[in-house]
Structure 1
Amino acid sequence: MEGGGRPQPPDPQMAEAAPPQQPVYQNALPLMFPRMQIPATPSYGGRFTQYNIFGNIFEVTAKYKPPIMPIGEDAYGTVCSALNSETNESAAIKKIVNAFGNKVDAKRTLREIKLLRYMAHENVVAIRDVIPPPQRECFNDVYIVYELMDTDLHQLICCNQKFNEEHYQYFIYQILRGLKYIHSANVLHRDLKPSNLLVNENCDLKICDFGLARVNTESDFMTEYVITRWYRPPELLLYSSQYSAAIDMWSVGCIFMELFIRKPLFPGRDHLHQVRLLLELLGTPSEAEMEYLNENAKRYIQQLPNYPGQSFSEKFPNVHPLAIDLAQKMLTFDPKQRITGEFVAKE
């Protein structure tokens, strides 16, 4: 990959955790779509098959067999499950509608394919296939085939599925293990949030959605919108011109606490409210902690009320002290003081 290093193999220091004794059962989760049998219509002489998914035509190569079922959707299209008849493996097929109609979205799709084709790790979702169009002149939609997972962490947090200490430890261990691998390639994910962490019933977790990811050496990567607001670190909220892999660690800290409290840690209504929520919990930063900010950002912080900060252990009395300690090391105002994946591996 241009500008990046080859990812390192799994670190034996981070290969010791075992999955929880109690699995997370898919049938305990609310279904986003009702289970149904979608009829198949052969096309292009049987080389392709069409499925009508709520008025949206899915057209895939004939090796992908029923049952074709919708399992999710986002701003870019619908995701369906299918069976690859050649490998007998279940797969998730994502249709990106009109993929080349917008330059920004087209680049995001290409980036996702490029990065995931390059990576191979137990905690990073794998691309299995990119389905070619039946005719080159009608190449408008892109179908990406991924390994199939049961749900995502957002759905687990929102449902009534109970977690125990083993679940918390195993989820955060896998997130950090996958992120350490991603960062070893000099890549920043830049959009970590619960819905981008896929999970199966055995509690295996995989990081997905690399559409906003960037190689750390790219010259234009500082200028784009990145990271969903609730998981965005202070250096991005305050328009720092430089940032590092520490932005991903902040997001992990937010996700880790969300597992315990079952709601977002910083649910800001808008940009300014988001900054205020951070300061209310962490306290107003010192001059040394604001050293990396530009003068305008510093003046903005200084004109706000002085926030003393809150005790994590008092605000979250039901969270284990060791979990509180780890979260606080991820959620530091100064990115240089933020914990790294390397540190977690050694500890």
Structure 2
Amino acid sequence: MDRNFRVGPDYSIIDVVGEGAYGVVCSAVHEPSKQKVAIKKITPFDHSMFCLRTLREIKLIRWFSHENIISILDIVKPPSLDEFTEVYLIQELMETDMHRVIRTQDLSDDHCQYFIYQTLRGLKALHSAAVLHRDLKPSNLLLNSNCDLKICDFGLARSAFMGEQEATGFMTEYVATRWYRAPEIMLTFKEYTKAIDVWSVGCILAEMLNGKPLFPGRDYHHQLTLILDILGTPSLDDFYAISSHRSRDYIRALPFKKKKPFAQLYPNASALAIDLLEKCLTFNPKKRITCEEALRHPYLASYHDPDDEPDSPRSTLASSISITGRNS
């Protein structure tokens, strides 16, 4: 990955702080203001799909102005079209992410409450604008030393309202890092809803409680096996909610499994944490708790303030991010 940043004299690069499939993130100083920032270098032009995701991410982040969603302070582009091989997003600098925090320290119950509350607060802003994040995981929750949390990485985000042709590509796309994927993504329910993000929040909460991923599947089949090992065999109602006959046949062929109580898996967690966990990790997406309901859950009562959990307008956003190619 090319780590040469061509961002002009206004920015002095400090260090590389992260690296992904088609981007590098550096810490830097904005010399005119002396503000520390993060610069995300994106080189998406090898594949049209990456271009679409980059454009979608920029449009989404610039739309939202929310304390729990990462913002773009500036965009630096090359001086000419001939040199247009990368884009630089100037963003707020956050010291770490949830993945690193979970790996290096035990979290108190109060930390878990505050981090999940902020995640849901940001997610409420997305969902109220009819946007699904689709890739929530610990590494996409950025943190600073004040324990402020911001959701990042909107390259896979999509509108919840799509035409039939768009939905076809949406269904077949690789959605969410496997360990945090809702079962309906793998079992081809009739449609994916905001509930897929709530499932991911449940997986993140579980990981906060004991420092280990709840469903670390090696592949598609192992992932489903791990989920059913804990949630148990789906009820008849939940079974017939799966539209794919192939998926139903797959589950029917599996041995019957009893549900494992989350209280036994997380003996040190509070009863309220366990209750929220169960509601987020409900197999049937129609029965799963919504983001708004989760914010009102007693586990988050210390932080919940309905007057300080703003919605986002959605009238033009849904159409503005419908920039799709097949499997984009």
Q: TM-score, normalised by structure 2?
A: 0.86
One-letter amino acid matched to 1:80? C
Q: What residue in structure 2 maps to residue 142 of structure 1?
A: 87
Q: Deviations over 1:211-254 (max 9, x none)?
A: 00001112323332111100001101112241100000000000
In structure 1, how many angstroms separate the alpha carbons of the residues matched to 2:38 and 2:103? 22
Count of aligned pairs between the two proteins: 291
Unaligned runs of 5+ in 1: 1-53
**1:96 is matched with which residue: 30, 35, 42?**
42
Q: What residue in structure 1 maps to residue 238 of structure 2?
A: 289
CA contact (8 A) 1:198 1:206 kept: yes
CA contact (8 A) 1:266 1:277 kept: yes
In structure 1, how many angstroms separate the alpha carbons of the residues matched to 2:68 and 2:38? 17
In structure 2, how many angstroms separate the alpha carbons of the residues matched to 1:166 and 1:344? 16
What pairs up with 1:10-159 in 2 under 5 angstroms? 56-66=3-13, 68-97=14-43, 99-159=44-104
In structure 2, how many angstroms separate the alpha carbons of the residues matched to 1:291 and 1:88? 59
Q: What residue in structure 2 maps to residue 218 of structure 1?
A: 162
**2:271 is matched with which residue: 313, 321, 325?**
321
Unaligned runs of 5+ in 2: 298-328
CA contact (8 A) 1:222 1:241 kept: no
CA contact (8 A) 2:106 2:211 kept: no
Q: Say which structure, 1 or 2, has more relative contact order (CA 8 Å, 6+ apart).
A: 2
Q: Secondary structure at the match of 2:19?
A: strand
In structure 2, how many angstroms separate the alpha carbons of the residues matched to 1:165 and 1:179? 21
Identical aligned residues as a percent: 52
One-letter amino acid matched to 1:197? L
What pairs up with 1:293-304 in 2 under 5 angstroms? 293-294=242-243, 295-304=245-254
One-letter amino acid matched to 2:63? Y
Q: What residue in structure 2 maps to residue 330 of structure 1?
A: 280
Q: Whose strand proportion is higher, 1 or 2?
A: 1
Cα RMSD, aligned residues only: 1.3
CA contact (8 A) 1:189 1:213 kept: yes
Q: Whose helix proportion is higher, 1 or 2?
A: 2
What pairs up with 1:304-319 in 2 under 5 angstroms? 304-319=254-269
One-letter amino acid matched to 1:69? D
Structure index of larger Rg:
1
In structure 2, how many angstroms separate the alpha carbons of the residues matched to 1:162 and 1:346? 26
Q: What residue in structure 2 maps to residue 191 of structure 1?
A: 135
State the Cα distance separating 1:162 from its structure 2 match: 3.2
**Any runs of at least 4 consecutive aligned residues in structure 1 with deviations exceeding 6 A, and if so which?**
none
